[in-house]
A and B are shown apart, each in its own frame.
Chain A
Amino acid sequence: MSYYLQFVIVGLASGSIYALIALGYTMVYGIIELINFAHGDIFMIGMMVAITFLDLLHVTDKNPPTGFALVGILAAAFLVAMLACAIVGVVTERIAYRPLRNANRLAPLISAIGVSLILEDLGKLWKGLNYISFPQIFPNVFYSIGGVQIAAVDLFAIVVAVVLMIGLQWFITYTRMGRAMRAVAQDREAAALMGVNVNQVISITFFVGAGLAGAASIIYGLKFGSTIYYIGFQLGLIAFTAAVLGGIGNLVGAMLGGLIIGLVQSFSVLIPDSLAPHSHGFGLPLGGAAWMLAIIFAILILILVFRPSGLLGQNVPDKV
């Protein structure tokens, strides 16, 4: 049992990364009904910004900071990455999505694909074609709980994600701007009639959503340690699956979906390799790890076919 607890913790940690990115997807979809293909690439840009920032501060694996310096540097890295991602998000909304707000459904989607291509190439130009390492400055400490080794960075990831999600939920529920966002998501014209500045609200939505992706990027960097220009695409797709799983447009759903997908990913490693002798043909060829992406997409397709509103969404009938 404790063996599986390890997988649970690791799954929750990567799940919290997916949850933070999924929140960005779901917020944008909830408010302008657009799947922001570029969101994963904003995440990638956040990581590159963070790497450059840490480079400027001469923070490397060799001499990691400790104590208060570590806390300060981590906080600064979070702030810088979140701000950079937020700015990129707002800029892309302004340039690529706002002119197309009243166009037919296809146009902003293709525009989003265009933005994604641009960001990927910017990443390629900035940091090159190969993997770039993120400074592993988080102390490599393991806690022993119930006979299981739990990495401190995993706990850190979960804690930071939970704090941010609680913060977001508070922002949406109890502040004026949060109420405005919910209003615009519900009915854009009525909100405008009620005096809500729709353009500003949408920009702030992009700001917050992309900022969360920035936080996710730092956690990812600390946990996995490397990045490359095309990482945004795959992670974005997985996070989108998480958002759909939880119910697109639903914030708690995105968080839940992210955690579930993280657990699925973590446990898929356990599927045996049907080609290996000891498995007696049971399992998938080359083992679960090679099929992880396929498994996640299979989940996406199953959800969309059988319960398109997701786990926590309501079944809204198609109105004529």
Chain B
Amino acid sequence: MSASSPWSLDRSTRALLWKWGLVLLVPVLVYTFLWQGDSVVNAAFLGLANPNNSTYAVATPGNMVQALIFSALFYLLVTALSGYLLAVDSGRHSFAPVWVDVVLYAVVPILLIALTNDLVIGIALSAVAWGAYFLVRAIARRRFNRFPPAVAPADPPAPIANAELRRRAIFGSVSFGVVLALIWIVVDIVFYVSGVFPSLLLLTILLPVRTVLLVVGSYFMGHFAARVAQNFTVEAYARRNKRREAKGLKALRPQRAQLTPNDNPLRSSGARVIFMAALLAFVLLYPALDSFLFSYGTGGRLAGYGDAGYYVILALGLNIVVGFAGLLDLGYVAFFAIGAYAWAIVGSSQFGQLFNIFLSNSVASGLFWPMLLGAALLAAFFGVVLGLPTLRLRGDYLAIVTLGFGEIVPIVALNLRQITNGANGLVGVHSPGFFGLAWNVTTPVPYYYLILALIGFTIFAAIRLRDSRLGRAWVAIREDEIAAASSGINLRNTKLLAFGAGAFFSGFAGAYHGAKLGVISPDVFSYGDSIIFLAMVVIGGLGSIPGVIVGALAVYSLYVLILGQLDTMAAVPHTFMYNFHTTIIHIIPGFTFGNIRNLTFGVLLILIMIFRPEGLIPSARRKRELHENLDEQEPDVLGSLDVTFADPAFEAEVRVE
């Protein structure tokens, strides 16, 4: 590394620059020009610049500002990522896996979202694509008997000095920023020359602003990337551990994937920080972005995402019971129903009927917030109660008993007419509101943010639970109950806490669903729902929190959105779907896409169980567990017969007298 000029770098670093520059440019260009990235910025800018012109002002000024903020954040974060990756890469591994990662996890989803013009369907189809890719890869590996090397290189890469990290990061970021700005300028000029440009304002004001922002911002983003990279070096961990020891805490032991420099920087912890920041910005600013990205139907979509949201919470809750603690619960819908009825009884006129206390509308609405906690606690209580008979049961029996509970609770709800109003259900359930200020029920945006907050809390709670002593106790009883009991874990309390914790989150989802839907009756809940929740957890990855979230979104979109869309498409005459549909109707009269929902589900479940039982995004532990029977990682080792004579293991066992 020559120190003569701050911009001179050795050949290997330049090679890395090409590698990461190209790798990142592809998805960014796909997003910007193949999809809507460009038009988001243009539309928002034009709308703000021409507030009185109705062709441009497609959204409120607030939304446009949010869209511009998001775009700025997105591009700046990508430049930061570029700098980070250049700084941190140890240069020891080949390009190919990186390309596979980027194409699979970045390019394919963006293309699918653009193709289907729907976010959730696009992500769900990406999940399908990922599943197909893993399946083909597994089959190909078994067929050609080529497995990835199980052992990582023994020596860690040489450490990089902080100053060098900063140099590389800034270089990477600025190069990327400059290249991106140049490409954008070229594209804009091409559009202008071919006459497609909507307005000269764009060229004169937006273009310089954007270029300056990208170039200057990338310099500061380089610094930011360097700071992120420096946080994960060995020295940084040593410093952190010294401080922890001074406070009496345990020392952290980072894994290879967390350290700087790194063999696979796309999957390192620093990169994850940047990904999470981008994801957070996207999710928080989404209601504003939706009208730019997908034109019509924002309200309906946001309402649908609210629904998908409570499925995510349910999946996370069930993940605690089934994934962490290994207790197969097939009746989870019972706790969901209890949570929903809890809010429905308090938040509707039923409260007055039962307790003779009549609340005004605003008071009832304001009660939603304490009732969120109340419904969750009630559901947790019933979780413990329904878990009590199951303490001594093993997997299959536990499943059946919980299935029975899942059946009994709707029956109870149906028959206890005094409390739950029987089959007619409870109508007029209030939406949330602060005292005196009920939510405007015509827009789903407040519900979107509410469910985001709930999901955020649930994820945080789930992560903390998983990494706590209780979480480890759950893993222990999942693996081997008797060994866990012998190690001093109180089986009864741990299992009951698992049921209670899992049911707690379903109480949130239930109260939310009651408030959003406004009507709660026994036919809102059915046995099939429990199976869907279980399928979400299983398909996503048992015990893995990001897996379960993705699984929930995938299953929800498959179950609710995709097949419904196919039916709508099949109603339009003279299209492929329509012809396909009419041909099948001749053979099977009752065919609609909605009717085969469970069929596709069942096939999917069986395929996943046979080929990828650890789910889409497994936790690392689970993957090891589930494949230890199959010789996926190493060839069959028959024991000492397979060991050669000179091997120290063999020598240690055999003693020649």
The distance in angstroms between the C-alpha atoms of A110 and B396, with both chains bound, is 10
Interface size class of B (residues with CB under 8 A): 35 or more
Contacts of B589 on A, CB cut-off 8 Å?
128
Do A121 and B602 have beta carbons less than 8 Å apart? Answer: yes
Do B482 and A125 have beta carbons less than 8 Å apart? Answer: no
Residues 232-269 of A, flagged 1 when their CB comes within 8 A of B and 0 if not, give 01000100100010000000000000000000000000
The distance in angstroms between the C-alpha atoms of A124 and B588, with both chains bound, is 10
Do B407 and A304 have beta carbons less than 8 Å apart? Answer: no
The count of chain A contact residues (Cβ–Cβ below 8 Å) is 55
Contacts of B395 on A, CB cut-off 8 Å?
105-106, 109
Choose one: A33, A99, A125, A237; the contact of B596 (CB below 8 Å): A125
The distance in angstroms between the C-alpha atoms of A35 and B398, with both chains bound, is 11
Closest-by-CB residue of B relative to A275 is B417
- Which residues in window 571-619 of B have CB below 8 A to A? 588-591, 595-599, 601-606, 609-610, 613
Which residues of B are in contact with A by a Cβ distance under 8 Å?
328, 389-390, 392-397, 399-401, 403-405, 407-408, 411-412, 414-418, 482, 527, 531, 534, 538, 542, 588-591, 595-599, 601-606, 609-610, 613, 625-626, 629
Contacts of B403 on A, CB cut-off 8 Å?
237
Do A99 and B396 have beta carbons less than 8 Å apart? Answer: no
A124-B595, A294-B411, A304-B393 known; A129-B604 Cβ under 8 A: no
Do A285 and B416 have beta carbons less than 8 Å apart? Answer: yes
Contacts of B531 on A, CB cut-off 8 Å?
113, 117
- Whether A100 sits at the interface, judged by CB under 8 Å, is yes
Closest-by-CB residue of B relative to A117 is B602
Do A35 and B605 have beta carbons less than 8 Å apart? Answer: no
Within the complex, the shortest CB–CB distance from A99 to chain B, in Å, comes to 5
The distance in angstroms between the C-alpha atoms of A126 and B629, with both chains bound, is 40
- Whether A164 sits at the interface, judged by CB under 8 Å, is no
- Whether A114 sits at the interface, judged by CB under 8 Å, is yes
- Whether A286 sits at the interface, judged by CB under 8 Å, is yes
- Whether A318 sits at the interface, judged by CB under 8 Å, is yes
The distance in angstroms between the C-alpha atoms of A210 and B400, with both chains bound, is 20
- Whether A293 sits at the interface, judged by CB under 8 Å, is yes
Do B527 and A118 have beta carbons less than 8 Å apart? Answer: no
3 A-B pairs closest in CB distance:
A117-B602, A114-B605, A118-B602
- Whether A111 sits at the interface, judged by CB under 8 Å, is yes
Do B399 and A109 have beta carbons less than 8 Å apart? Answer: yes
Contacts of A115 on B, CB cut-off 8 Å?
602, 606
Closest-by-CB residue of A relative to B526 is A230
Contacts of A119 on B, CB cut-off 8 Å?
602
Do A110 and B629 have beta carbons less than 8 Å apart? Answer: no
Residues 80-116 of A, flagged 1 when their CB comes within 8 A of B and 0 if not, give 0000000000000001100110111111111101111
Within the complex, the shortest CB–CB distance from B547 to chain A, in Å, comes to 15
The distance in angstroms between the C-alpha atoms of A29 and B278, with both chains bound, is 51
Closest-by-CB residue of B relative to A124 is B595
- Whether A145 sits at the interface, judged by CB under 8 Å, is no
Within the complex, the shortest CB–CB distance from B392 to chain A, in Å, comes to 7
Within the complex, the shortest CB–CB distance from B275 to chain A, in Å, comes to 31
The distance in angstroms between the C-alpha atoms of A6 and B602, with both chains bound, is 42
The distance in angstroms between the C-alpha atoms of A125 and B417, with both chains bound, is 35
Do A291 and B482 have beta carbons less than 8 Å apart? Answer: no
A118-B598, A285-B415 known; A111-B610 Cβ under 8 A: yes
Choose one: B407, B411, B416, B534; the contact of A110 (CB below 8 Å): B534
Within the complex, the shortest CB–CB distance from A243 to chain B, in Å, comes to 10
Q: 15 other contacts beyond A113-B602, A117-B605, A129-B590, with CB at 8 A cut-off?
A: A29-B396, A100-B609, A102-B629, A103-B609, A113-B531, A114-B603, A118-B602, A118-B606, A119-B602, A126-B590, A129-B595, A291-B411, A293-B408, A300-B404, A308-B397
